[in-house]
């Protein structure tokens, strides 16, 4: 285990207050899909923002491919719950804008083919010249995913990208994301509140606890447990609950969230 991404003793405190979390250390291997689960306020999004270079930790270091993460970079693609598309641009133009940022010298024909490839990958070719106002919520998220993949990042960071979608749309995009990740061998770190989503997508699941106070002693939040997903990687939404070990894994994570995560 060499550790393509290394997080070492990360901590975050705001304005001199007690740290939200401390001593957070874990690694991601190249091509690995890791989900983090925990209650609101435990610091999941802060960790993702530090990995993205959008926030700085109070302590600790993040290394990707042997170099310290010290700011935003096109080497890390980010997809948030809000699609963050530019409303005055079409699907094609939104993705082309990102691609040009990555490869400013790319020729027009090559750019067009590159954009169309990633739009097709998320099943949006018929909508390629539509603006975000003409798209459903699920379609906007697909554009965000296509845009993130189109710049060939070394790592993809997902902050509950399907949280605002209905169950049917969410499931469809989960399947599409799984297919793309398998095709590209992308390294992914994802925040989710959905236990089944984590079991479906992740190779490993990080269980994160909230900070807690007991008899005037404060314990910061942190990674309480790392769960290796024992289910076969070629799993599907439809077949997940038929797999041996699924219910034991699900019950273990739910039990953690209910009895050990110390939600505020």
Tens digits of per-residue pLDDT, 172-208? 888 888 888 888 889 999 999 999 999 999 999 999 9
Tens digits of per-residue pLDDT, 35-68? 999 998 889 999 999 999 999 999 999 999 989 9
In three state form, how does the secondary structure of 7-68 look? EEEEEECCCCCCCCEEEEEEEECCCCEEEEECCCCCCHHHHHHHHHCCCCCCEEEEEECCEE
* Phi, psi (degrees; rounded to nearest 5) at 138: -65, -35
Residues 61-71 as b or e (16 or more Cβ within 10 Å = b): ebebeeeebee
| CA 98-101-102 angle, 5° bins | 95
Q: How far is 190 from 72, CA to CA, in rounded Å?
A: 17
Q: Are 211 and 220 in contact (CB under 8 A)?
A: yes
CATH 3.40.50.300 correct for 31-55+67-260: yes
Q: How far is 1 from 161, CA to CA, in rounded Å?
A: 28
Write out the H or E segment, with its range, that includes residue 117: helix 108-121
pLDDT of residue 2: 65
Q: How far is 28 from 7, CA to CA, in rounded Å?
A: 9
How far is residue 78 from each of residues 48, 53, 255, measured CA to CA in Å?
9, 10, 30
pLDDT of residue 45: 93
Tokens of residue 19, six digits: 């740290």
Q: In a structure prediction context, what are the per-residue pLDDT tens digits for the chain, which is 264 residues long?
A: 468 999 999 999 987 778 899 999 999 999 999 999 999 888 999 999 999 999 999 999 999 998 999 888 989 999 887 768 999 999 999 999 999 999 999 999 999 999 999 999 888 999 999 999 999 988 998 899 899 999 999 999 999 888 777 888 888 888 888 888 888 889 999 999 999 999 999 999 999 999 887 777 888 889 999 999 999 988 888 888 899 999 999 999 999 999 987 754
Pairing of β 21-28 and β 155-159: unpaired
pLDDT of residue 225: 95
């Amino acid at each position: 285990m060499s550790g393509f991404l290394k997080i070492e003793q990360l901590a975050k405190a705001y304005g001199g207050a007690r740290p939200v979390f401390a001593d957070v250390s874990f690694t991601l291997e190249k091509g690995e899909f890791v989900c983090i689960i925990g209650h609101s306020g435990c610091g999941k999004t802060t960790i993702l923002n530090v990995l993205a270079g959008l926030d700085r930790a109070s302590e600790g270091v993040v290394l990707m491919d042997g170099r310290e993460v010290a700011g935003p970079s096109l080497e890390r693609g980010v997809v948030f719950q809000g699609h963050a598309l530019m409303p005055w641009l079409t699907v094609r133009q939104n993705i082309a804008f990102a691609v040009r940022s990555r490869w400013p010298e790319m020729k027009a024909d090559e750019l067009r083919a590159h954009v169309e490839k990633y739009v097709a990958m998320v099943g949006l070719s018929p909508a390629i010249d539509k603006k975000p106002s003409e798209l459903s919520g699920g379609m906007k998220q697909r554009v965000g995913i296509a845009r993130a993949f189109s710049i060939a990042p070394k790592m993809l960071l997902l902050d509950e990208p399907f949280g605002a979608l209905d169950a049917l749309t969410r499931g469809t995009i989960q399947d599409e994301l799984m297919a793309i990740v398998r095709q590209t061998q992308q390294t992914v770190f994802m925040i989710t509140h959905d236990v089944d989503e984590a079991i479906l997508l992740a190779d490993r699941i990080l269980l994160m606890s909230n900070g807690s106070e007991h008899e005037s002693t404060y314990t910061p939040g942190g990674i309480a447990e790392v769960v290796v997903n024992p289910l076969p990687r070629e799993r599907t939404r439809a077949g997940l609950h038929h797999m041996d070990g699924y219910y034991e894994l699900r019950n273990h994570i739910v039990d953690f969230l209910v009895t050990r995560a110390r939600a505020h």
